[in-house]
Structure 1
Amino acid sequence: MTAGSLMAAELAEQPQVLGRLVDRHVADRDQVRAVLPGRRLPGRLAGTVLLARGSSDNVAVYGRYLIELASRRPAGLAAPSVHTRYEADVDYSGYLAVALSQSGATPEVVETAARMRRAGAVVVGITNEAASPLTGVCDLTLLTGAGPERAVPATKTVTAQMLAIAAIAAAYDPDLVTVADLGALPDEASALLADSADLGVDGAPGSGPAGVVAARWANARRLVVTGRGLAYAAALETALKIKESARVHAEGLSSADLLHGPIAALDSRLPVLVVSGGERFAADEAALAARLTAEGVPYAVCGSAPGADLPLPAGVSEVTAPILATIRGQQLALASALLRGLDPDAPAGLSKVTATH
């Protein structure tokens, strides 16, 4: 078995995994709607809190934006240590809690989800494992059904979680997360995979867009990945994948936060990958590109605009674009690892399940 073959194979399964979730979308949406605070229980929705670690935490960032837009109530990320270390007595009456774990076995996610439920929250779990501890502490579990994932860097389970999050948002506002937009996603994912079909074949970095960008930055030891809005989650996840797979210190930053200080550290040796947030952020991204160019900072763009280095389909929905950008980030991480002679399937010092408490 060649280096990266597992990651490449699991990356390639994503159109099928996403297709199954798209087919289930309406049923998942309606299941969530039936348990939302204010429907099953008396009272009003107070807000949504998302609970996760690792790649799932990056998916939670996507959910934080999308669910707040859909519910028009506050949404935020939980701090598990508040419960597992500080043992705070927090009232979650009226809250929806969304607990994400690919394995469903991360101890602090399971424990915190259980505490939130006892404190009044309605808990919806998202996991790939039907018989996991997480399912036992949730009011409802959305299974991603991605199948076994053997490579340490998560790929298909991440994008599947993002699509499950979209079902939760659609329970609040089906006009924001439309069936039509989601229906196009599997074919759009297939198109990304088709233009990099040689990626990971016989351990090669491929000649597609990800291979080209990876070769351009083959000697970089540091990297910034930046995005804003819904795209911020894809930037965070891309940075994590590159760290895990290619041993490059990649930092994910909001493009707004980048301007509040960190941009001063950029130079010709520190490339920047800009994950586009779409039309809403086009002027901001153009201004950032102009500044990077003026200061001699190498950069590449992942987006749907003409000339993007890591292109996404033209006219892609802003709800599904971060899912496709996450796939592009996975491709870049795989290509970067292979160019450096590393095996991304089994990065040194990492395991598939990290048992934090």
Structure 2
Amino acid sequence: MCGIFAYLNYNVNRERRYILQVLFNGLRRLEYRGYDSAGIAIDSDPKPAPQASSASASDSDPPPIVFRQEGNIESLVKSVYQDVAKLELNLEASFSTHAGLAHTRWATHGEPAPRNSHPQSSGPGNEFLVVHNGVITNYEVLKETLIRHGFIFESDTDTEVIPKLAKYVYDKANEAADGQVVTFSQVVLEVMRHLEGAYALIFKSSHYPNELIACKRGSPLLLGVKEMTENKENGSAFDDNKTLSKDGGPKELFLSSDANAVIEHTKKVLVIEDGEVVHLKEGGVYILKFENDKGERVASPTKIASVRRALSVLEMEVQQINKGHYEHYMQKEINEQPESLTTTMRGRLILRGSSKSKSVLLGGLKDHLKTIRRSRRILFIGCGTSYNAALAARPILEELTGIPVTMEIASDLLDRQGPIYREDTAVFVSQSGETHDTLVALQYALDNGALCVGITNTVGSAIARNTHCGVHINAGAEIGVASTKAYTSQIVVMAMLALAIGGDTLSNQARREAIIDGLFDLPNKVREVLKLDQEMKDLAKLLSAEQSLLVFGRGYNYATALEGALKVKEVALMHSEGILAGEMKHGPLALVDETLPIVVIATRDACFSKQQSVIQQLIARRGRLVVMCSKGDASSVSPSETVRVIEVPQVEDCLQPVINVVPLQLLAYHLTVLRGFNVDQPRNLAKSVTTQ
């Protein structure tokens, strides 16, 4: 959940003021991940290069300066400039080479406070500094050991053991080195051997000036490369003994937990793999990789080896991470859904020949469709919104494929150690592709021999890399913590998945073609439903002072009820609950009175008559109802003038959840604004849940 950013300029003169702005802007790009404090580290004024070749304590540069602040990034910016003035640091001081760290923290161990913010330090002098995303599960044991060796801890974090362990390793190694130079990589590799848990880390040390080391296990991290001469931008590849440019030319290097913080600088990136140690030194990028045992500890130093990697190109634009004329990212992303759905379907819905025969092509799955069709069952595994999207698509998958489909919340599957077999196909759904519980469930399914399919919005993410095959949803960058356009694109991808697996049997040909026609027209229907914005704002005004909201759905729209309620609770901070309407008499009916607002989804599908009955029973108990129905059905679903009706366009039943969720997204958005809460950064939540 924490945001990591680092910037290293090599043989490129940059003033301290510019370096600060790059670090601050990098953090601003990561705000959506959720955080409660932030910090940065920069160098003191430059010192003349030492004459000796060895890196000893006497040769070390002056200690880096660390700034940490509770609250938002602008609070950090303000405090940094105040401290810069007190320290009489020269903002115009120029550095030809400089390595800076930045971090937004989402509290796990220790309350939000400057002492618990990152970078965390090895102690007085800041000899080693670390920024960290993840959780170190064995930190208590490490902390006790380090305390016995005289280290004093100042924070409540699990992270603080890492820089202190680095200093301990460095000091011990130099005592035993007998004049040999101990490299930064050797120190970090030794530290990693002792760490258990999930993490992404960046190390900075005054003993190794102008160098950074990044490593990861289970948390996202990537390297962005901007070479300052055009002829070096093309076809770059590197390993542990090759730099990006043979002459060590000027360049800027960026490390980040998210591409959003890199894209404004460069599109050339390297996605760092689990177990890799990436060392930035003298303009070069050196990569070491170790093999470990089930992600716990490095078994042997002999398993460490150099690797060769090539840069990839980000397929996103800076405009995608800007709000444009919208007030908030969530508002922008709700309104982007016609375009995101079009992009999701582009090149995948095929019209062939003069007869215009209709089919679906999912290139990432074509070599595995026969195996999926022979599956004993299909498991959909996800968390939160991604789970809801899979739930919305389950009925059409069962209908078109005839294969039993089961739903699993990733954490519950792991808690139960639920059975998964070689004959199963396991589909992992995650917007970020880095969701911790989903990733652990993926490894569990791989270990049990299932065919694993990934559905993500992030190219190069851990799920995209580690599944056998998959589909990228192409929804575009989603910055708001509350997922909107990724959710609707996930449903569309899974509807196309059902069409692809179901094949071209004559018995369901008419149904298939109707769904494909519906998919082609879906963006226009979403544009139509977005016109309800003012109506949903008016409804939000009526509900803004309420404490609770129930949402009843059934069939395809049970998932819509869950997702609509989730949107309201996560951003508007109002208690809301999605309820399966068929369960109404088994408890929820006891809550109904004239004060509790209830939304009932009753659009035209196989459950329409059953939902009409639900509405009548709620009205009989003086329920305070808002009914969502298909256009033209207002009179048939609303026998009472006290019922507020929202009419939405009618589409194929399996696509109706895409339409029906949009008014609920708008309602959640307007409720949040009216209640005075932060739309894009809800309390206690983060975009990418990368730790347990």
TM-score, length-scaled by structure 1:
0.88
- Looking at structure 1, the residues matched to 548 and 620 of structure 2 have their Cα atoms a distance apart, in angstroms, of 20
- CA deviation digits over 1:193-224, x for unaligned, max 9? 2342xxxxxxxxxxx22112222222221111
Name the residue aligned to 1:250. 576
Instruction: Report if aligned partners of 2:344, 2:475 keep a CA contact under 8 Å in 1.
Output: no
Pick the aligned partner of 2:610 from 278, 281, 284: 284
| Counterpart residue identity of residue 378, structure 2 | T
Aligned CA distance change for structure 1 residues 301 and 135 (closer, same or farther; 3 Å): same
Name the residue aligned to 1:205. none
Instruction: Report if aligned partners of 1:104, 1:129 keep a CA contact under 8 Å in 2.
Output: yes
- Secondary structure in structure 2 of the residue aligned to 1:24: coil
Matched, 1:68 2:398: yes
Instruction: Report if aligned partners of 1:92, 1:121 keep a CA contact under 8 Å in 2.
Output: yes
Rg (Cα) greater in structure: 2
Structure 1, unmatched stretches of 5+, are 197-207
How many residues align structurally? 341
Matched, 1:45 2:375: yes
How big is the shift at 1:75?
A: 0.7
**Match runs of 1:136-155 below 5 Å:** 136-155=465-484
Name the residue aligned to 1:355. 690
How big is the shift at 1:91?
A: 3.9
Instruction: Report if aligned partners of 1:28, 1:142 keep a CA contact under 8 Å in 2.
Output: no
Provide the alpha-carbon RMSD of the alignment. Answer: 2.3
Matched, 1:110 2:426: no
Name the residue aligned to 1:10. 333
Instruction: Report if aligned partners of 2:551, 2:561 keep a CA contact under 8 Å in 1.
Output: yes
Instruction: Report if aligned partners of 2:548, 2:596 keep a CA contact under 8 Å in 1.
Output: yes
TM-score, length-scaled by structure 2:
0.47
Aligned CA distance change for structure 1 residues 10 and 124 (closer, same or farther; 3 Å): same
- Secondary structure in structure 2 of the residue aligned to 1:309: strand
How big is the shift at 1:64?
A: 2.3
- Secondary structure in structure 2 of the residue aligned to 1:316: coil
| Counterpart residue identity of residue 343, structure 1 | N
How big is the shift at 1:152?
A: 1.1
Higher relative contact order by CA 8 Å / sep ≥ 6: 1 or 2? 1
Matched, 1:23 2:329: no
Pick the aligned partner of 1:300 from 626, 629, 645: 626
Instruction: Report if aligned partners of 1:3, 1:343 keep a CA contact under 8 Å in 2.
Output: no
More moved, 174-183 vs 282-291: 174-183
| Counterpart residue identity of residue 136, structure 1 | R
Pick the aligned partner of 2:423 from 79, 82, 94: 94
Aligned CA distance change for structure 1 residues 83 and 318 (closer, same or farther; 3 Å): closer
How big is the shift at 1:83?
A: 5.7
- Looking at structure 1, the residues matched to 535 and 610 of structure 2 have their Cα atoms a distance apart, in angstroms, of 24
**Match runs of 1:1-357 below 5 Å:** 5-26=328-349, 28-29=361-362, 31-32=364-365, 34-36=367-369, 39-40=370-371, 44-81=374-411, 84-85=414-415, 87=417, 90-173=419-502, 175=509, 176-177=511-512, 178-196=515-533, 208-306=534-632, 307=634, 309-313=645-649, 315-357=650-692
More moved, 318-327 vs 90-99: 90-99
Structure 2, unmatched stretches of 5+, are 1-322, 350-359, 504-508, 635-643
- Secondary structure in structure 2 of the residue aligned to 1:124: strand
- Looking at structure 1, the residues matched to 402 and 395 of structure 2 have their Cα atoms a distance apart, in angstroms, of 10
Aligned residues: percent identity? 27
- Looking at structure 1, the residues matched to 338 and 428 of structure 2 have their Cα atoms a distance apart, in angstroms, of 24
- Looking at structure 2, the residues matched to 256 and 87 of structure 1 have their Cα atoms a distance apart, in angstroms, of 29
Instruction: Report if aligned partners of 1:3, 1:338 keep a CA contact under 8 Å in 2.
Output: no
- Secondary structure in structure 2 of the residue aligned to 1:78: strand
- Looking at structure 1, the residues matched to 609 and 520 of structure 2 have their Cα atoms a distance apart, in angstroms, of 29
Aligned CA distance change for structure 1 residues 191 and 46 (closer, same or farther; 3 Å): same
- Looking at structure 2, the residues matched to 302 and 160 of structure 1 have their Cα atoms a distance apart, in angstroms, of 22
- Looking at structure 2, the residues matched to 150 and 31 of structure 1 have their Cα atoms a distance apart, in angstroms, of 26
| Counterpart residue identity of residue 309, structure 1 | V
Larger helix proportion of the pair: 1
Instruction: Report if aligned partners of 2:572, 2:677 keep a CA contact under 8 Å in 1.
Output: yes
Instruction: Report if aligned partners of 1:50, 1:63 keep a CA contact under 8 Å in 2.
Output: no
